[in-house]
Structure 1
Amino acid sequence: MTHEAIALLMFLSLMVLMMTGQRVFAAIGFVAAIMALVGYGVGGEELAFNQAFKLFRWTALVALPLFVFMGYVMARSGIAEDLYRMFHVWFGRVPGGLAVGTVFLMVVISAMNGLSVAGMAIGATIALPEMLRRGYDKVLVTGVVQGGSSLGILIPPSVVMILYSAIAGQPVDRLWIAGIVPGLLMAGMFVVYILIRARLNPALAPPATDADLDMPLGAKLALARAGILPLLIFGAMIGLFLGGVTFLHESAAIGALATMIAAAVKRRLTWAMLRESAERTLAISCLFMWIILAALAFSTVFDGLGAVRAIEALFITRWDLSPWEVIILMQLSFLLLGMFFDDTAMLVIVAPLYIPLVRMLDLGFDSVRDQMIWFGVLYTMTCQIAYITPPFGYNLFLMRGMAPAEVTLWDIYRSIWPFVGMMALTIALVMLFPQIALVLL
């Protein structure tokens, strides 16, 4: 069997199994094991299953459940709600101020959790009803919550970047640092867009009235202290890590412990809340571990059978594409896949195809590591679009399930396109000016 036939067979088999509704990790692992048997004979399946030892040796994965747990404790204990109230006081008199505050809320929640699900849950249950009650346009604010929640997979500590790091063999701390400036740039675009829309049409986002913000100075200071608490937790956690005082998993443990202490100080640390947070953390962490294991197995078999060389020959030899044309083609394929798959499925589908090829391209970077870090940021940014684009954007369905009845599915679909455009513009800027992602490294 030729290398081209192997690549095509593995890719098509994976697509067919995923379209039948099978779990992502089961479909990927099954294809890897079967192709190992076909390619290497009896005992070949060990090539795939031995990737479990590589997974268990990667200590950075210890941080994943701790970050997820920290985000759930923050949401369930009301710390995130206090933070939103603080933003409401600070930005309430600005046209579109609550929407601007929601974007800042999403940035902070992203920095505490690393998943878009937590930001979506908080935005849809806390921020969205509040903005609708105050007369904000439902299409505008629905887009704000969806776009803002997608920042969770770009601003550190990003769980998606942990997955990319495991599969591509890149240091997760450098990936996180590389995502900071693009993430803040995207958030800044969202804020400017909201301010312009609100200034051009104040009826879309009316400012808060004096009655809304009329509270004693002591109450405002107490609210500010409550809002600053999560910022201090994040600063201590990431500061110790970036300063070299703690390792990644140690910083994650500090963050989770500090969040629990904060919940206890607020007298919101209950056994029911801890149990629910732990159960949700276990479910998500196990899912991600299975997906990473399956992706590593698939990548190893795919490369071992020579399929990567077939992709290289197709892009560079037969199509005679320049390195930058190859990158553009990859990004377009990400956008297409993102309409039908979530970020983890996209990564395990394209990782065996693209990551080895990106290493070989000459894009003018100072080192291969910088090139792989930059590509990881591009991939993560494209995943943000996948979360909110029809027909199968996960955040679209989450929003429909959590939003008030007055927000229809058509409203949700209409709301996301300006934010998709801003995300695409950010991706283009990072491609044109790679230093946006690498400036802090």
Structure 2
Amino acid sequence: MDYTTIALLMFVSMMLMLITGQRVFGAIGAVAVAAALLLWGTGGVEIAFAQSIKLMKWYPLLTLPMFIYMGYMLSESRIADDLYEMFHVWFGPVRGGLAIGTIVLMVIVSAMNGLSVAGMAIGATIALPELLRRGYDKIMVTGVIQAGSSLGILIPPSVVLVLYGMIARQPVSQLWLAGALPGLMMATLFVVYIAVRCRLQPHLGPVLPEEERNIPLAEKLRLLRAGILPLAIFFMMTGLFLMGITSLVESSAVGAISATVAAAIKGRLTAQVWENTLRKSLGITCMFMWIILAALAFGAIFDGLGAVRAIEGFFLEDLGLGPWEVLILMQLSFLLMGTFLDDTAMLVIIAPLYIPLVRALGFDLIWYGVLYTITCQIAYMTPPFGYNLFLMRAMAPPEIRLRDIYASVFPFVLVMILALALVMLFPQIALWLPSQFQGKLQG
């Protein structure tokens, strides 16, 4: 049996295990270790062991638990609630203002957590009931929350970009800087869409009633101060990093400590908050660690079989495709896989194959990391099995049905496709900021 056939059998076996509902790291790791033992005997165990040592020696990985902890601490201590109350008061007099405020809230939550599920949880439990109670169109606001929460995997500190950096061997600091402007551009496009649509169809996003708008200035300023605290945490954390005072890992520690201090200042650092934050942070961190380890082992065996070179030859020689045609096909494959896999599973399955191909095609791997992440965002919201669709279904109130959720995402998916096209056509949208800090950042 030739190596190409073996590689194909590995890939099919892994997909079958995933379809049967096995855990991602279990399916990928089991196929990797089994293939190594069958191909190289007991010495094949050394491949997986070597990858675990590589993982433990990757210093930037320390940022992962820190940023996850920071996000959960701010969420569990309800500091994010203060932000939404601030947006409710200040954006309320504008048509669609609360929906616009929700997008801004999602951007801030993304900048504090790095996971889309955190934004979804906050949006579905805090923002969605308020928007529905104030007469906002249920289909539009359902799409707002799903689109806004997807920003968590693009805006730094994106956990997905940390994983990509590990597999592609690219600096996380450069990837985060590359994701910042595209993330803010996409959020701006969301805001423009909401504002224009609510102006054309005012019933979709009514302004607040007169009695709720007539809030004393002192109360507005109090709410503004309450919302400044989490923003101050974020700007202190990123500011020290961008000035070169702290390294990437040190910056994540500053964020974690600042979030804890903020919760204590608010008087919300209870035993229950501690327990929930630590339990969730540990669970998510361990899950990602196992997934990365399994992905590295799988990728090492695939590379040893020559599968990467076979795929490169298939696209460039057998099919005779040009670099951009191959790139577009790769993005389409991510969209297809995203209908039944989450972003992490897609990355660990496909990245070991695609990243060497992207390098061979002459594209920038930092830029491609942003393209991959935006494509994941789109896949998250694409029916029938987009990840965010089912998260929303699990968290939404009964009056929002599955067909409402499906209908809500299409305008925002079109906006995301526009953002993806802009980043593909103008790579400097992603690469300008990293170029400004090239060689100036630690980590």
Settle same-fold status: TM greater than 0.5.
yes
Q: Which residue of 2 aligns with 1:146?
A: 146
Say which SS state the counterpart of residue 426 (structure 1) adopts. Answer: helix
For 2:221 and 2:53, locate their aligned partners in 1 and report how far apart those are by CA, in whole Å: 52
Cα separation, 2, equivalents of 1:20 and 1:13: 11
Matched, 1:435 2:396: no
Contact (CA 8 Å) 1:124, 1:403: kept in 2 or not? yes
| Aligned pairs (5 A) from 1:354-369 | 354-363=354-363
In the alignment, what sits opposite 1:384?
377
SS of equivalent to 1:357: helix
One-letter amino acid of the structure 1 residue matched with residue 77 of structure 2: S
User: TM-score, with normalisation over the residues of structure 1?
Assistant: 0.97
2:81 corresponds to which residue?
Answer: 81
Q: What is the 5 A alignment of 1:345-424?
A: 345-363=345-363, 371-424=364-417
**Once structures 1 and 2 are overlaid, which stretch shifts more, 268-277 or 145-154?**
268-277
| Cα distance in 1 for residues equivalent to 2:402 and 2:80 | 26
**Maintained 8 Å contact 1:18/1:27:** yes
1:203 equivalenced with 2:203 (yes/no)? yes
Deviation at 1:395, TM superposition (A): 1.7
The corresponding residue for 2:263 is: 263
- Cα distance, 1:3 vs structure 2: 3.4
Q: Which residue of 2 aligns with 1:132?
A: 132
Task: Within 5 Å, give how 1:17-416 maps onto structure 2.
Answer: 17-363=17-363, 371-416=364-409
Contact 1:240 1:251 in 2 (8 A): yes
Query: Counterparts of 1:248 and 1:434 in 2: how far apart (Å)?
Result: 24
Superposition CA RMSD, Å:
1.1
Counterpart code for 2:332? L
- For structure 1, the 5+ residue unaligned runs are 364-370
Does the aligned pair in 2 maintain the 1:150–1:387 contact within 8 Å?
yes
Deviations along 1:106-147, whole A, 9 cap, x unmatched? 000000000001100110011110010000000000000000
**What do the CA deviations read for 1:215-255 (whole angstroms, capped 9, x no partner)?**
22221111101111111100010111122211222111111
Structure 1 Cα separation of the partners of residues 274 and 41 of structure 2: 48
Q: Is 1:426 the equivalent of 2:415? A: no
Asked if 1 retains the 8 angstrom alpha-carbon contact of 2:308 and 2:357, the reply is: yes
SS at match of 2:43: coil
Distance 2:428 2:248 in 1: 25
CA deviations on 1:140-199 (whole Å, 9 max, x unpaired) are 000000000000000000000000011110000000000011101110110011011100
CA contact 1:6–1:307 (8 Å) conserved in 2: no
- Once residues 152 and 408 of structure 1 are traced to their aligned partners in structure 2, the CA distance between those partners, rounded to angstroms, is 25
SS of residue in 2 equivalent to 1:389: coil
Q: TM-score, normalised by structure 2?
A: 0.96
Task: Write out per-residue CA displacement over residues 47-98 of structure 1, whole angstroms, 9 at most, x where no aligned residue.
Answer: 1232000000011111111111111111111211111111112211110000
Partners of 1:29 and 1:396 in 2: CA distance? 28
Q: Which of 7-16 and 314-323 deviates more? A: 7-16
Q: Give the Cα–Cα distance (whole angstroms) in 1 for the partners of residues 235 and 413 of structure 2.
A: 30
Return 5+ residue gaps in structure 2 as ranges: 435-443
Deviation sequence 1:274-317 (CA, Å, 0-9, x none): 10111011111100000000000011110011111111110111
d(CA) in 1 for partners of 2:205 and 2:314?
51
Letter in 1 for 2:384: P
Three-state SS of the structure 2 residue aligned to 1:41 is helix
Alpha carbons 1:3, 1:310 under 8 Å: kept: no
Q: Report the Cα offset of residue 351 of structure 1.
A: 1.1
In the TM superposition, residue 209 of structure 1 has moved relative to its aligned partner by 2.0
Matched AA of 2:401: T
Report how far residue 8 of structure 1 moved.
1.2
Percent of pairs with identical residues: 65
State the 1:425 CA deviation.
1.2
**Counterpart of 1:148 in 2: which secondary structure?**
helix
AA matched with 1:387: Y
Asked if structure 1 preserves the Cα contact closer than 8 Å seen for 2:154 and 2:183, the reply is: yes
Equivalent residue pairs, number: 434
Q: What displacement does 1:261 show? A: 1.1
